[in-house]
Amino acid sequence: MLKDFFIALSQNQFLNSSAKKYGLKLGAQSVVAGTNIPEVMKSIKELNSHGISCTVDNLGEFVFKKEEATAAKENILKVIEAINENKVDAHISLKPTQLGLDIDFDFALSNVKEVVDKASRYDMFVNIDMEDSSHLETTLNLLDKLSAEYDNVGTVLQSYFRNTQEYLEKYRNLRIRLVKGAYKEPEEIAYLDKKDIDENYIKLTEWHLLNGKFTSIATHDHRIINHIKEFVKKNDISKDKFEFQMLYGFRRELQLQLASEGYNFCTYVPFGNDWYGYFMRRLAERPQNLKIVGKQVFNKKTNTMIGMAAGAFLLGRASKKKKRK
């Protein structure tokens, strides 16, 4: 129920707009690396000073107008220029829906291609983030068209889907980020139990480490991290074949520790005012994250917003139960 609650919050456009209005006044600076490009560059430089690379996400939700998608694309192009000009160790992560996937496939492809093309001129990688199951096939169609022309593009695969192994094998020659998954999905296509998701995550990660091009192991779970450390040692897998990855603002001490141990480490760095949906999905993915940053993020205004959403969420569940009766 807790996961359903945070997913419902992430999809609430009223709360998303309210959070955007207040910006980082709500305390989101602990999980969002600034609202503009100069601020995010400063955050990246600080992480780089500890031997940590970054993947940068210009946050955006609910994009259904071409002008909004075009504006998002232009901002990402400016981020690429800033990364190059500042000579920082960073690359791009983007969501296809932010660039128009819910509007028109060819329009989105053109936007993403422009980003990938510009990044390729600077030998910069672009990671195509994965969203919910309704966007899975169209996102992979984008990836197929882009990877046929460019070699600086990869994607994310989610371990809660039952058929992820098949996609992992198909894209074994691409750089892949493995995550557990943060959207509400039906049991027919996704594992719902945490134990099953974790087991599949480890299985997929081990397979890709042995057979894939490069693996980004995106998890905050120290037990999984320790397991992978033993696995790569036992199988004599080079550290150049993988990296550990975590979100900005989460488990910073562990991030620094892994980097100091000589592992490639990459921090997922989101920036912008449109942080609300992103953060709620992080809580849905792993409710323990609430303990990590809760005191920093949830002040009085935030609690009021979430209280309103909680009431709407519970009323919605009650209404559904009545209808079933």
pLDDT for res 182? 77
129 annotated active-site = yes
Q: Is 218 helix (H, G, I), strand (E, B) or coil?
A: strand
Q: Of residues 57, 102, 129, 274, which has the active-site annotation?
A: 129
Q: Of residues 57, 102, 175, 177, which has the active-site annotation?
A: 177
Start-to-end Cα distance in the chain: 20
Query: Which has more pLDDT, 81 or 281?
Result: 81
Percentage of the chain beyond pLDDT 70 is 76
Position 196 pLDDT exceeds 50:
yes
Other Cβ atoms closer than 10 A to 293: 20
Least confident of 7-16, 86-95, 115-124, 134-143: 7-16
Position 22 pLDDT exceeds 70:
no
272: pLDDT confidence band, cut at 50, 70 and 90? confident
Domains recognised in the chain with CATH numbers: 32-274 (3.20.20.220)
pLDDT for res 32? 83
Rounded Cα gap, residues 315 and 95, in angstroms: 31
89 annotated active-site = no
Position 10 pLDDT exceeds 70:
no
Rounded Cα gap, residues 188 and 190, in angstroms: 6
Average pLDDT estimate for 125-148: 97
pLDDT for res 14? 56
Position 278 pLDDT exceeds 80:
no
What's the pLDDT tens digit per position in 94-108? 999 999 999 999 999
29: pLDDT confidence band, cut at 50, 70 and 90? low
CB 313 within 8 A of CB 42: no
124: pLDDT confidence band, cut at 50, 70 and 90? very high
What's the pLDDT tens digit per position in 199-231? 999 999 999 999 999 999 999 999 999 999 999
Position 289 pLDDT exceeds 70:
no
Position 77 pLDDT exceeds 90:
yes
For residue 165, the 8-state DSSP code is: H
Average pLDDT estimate for 254-262: 97
Rounded Cα gap, residues 26 and 20, in angstroms: 10
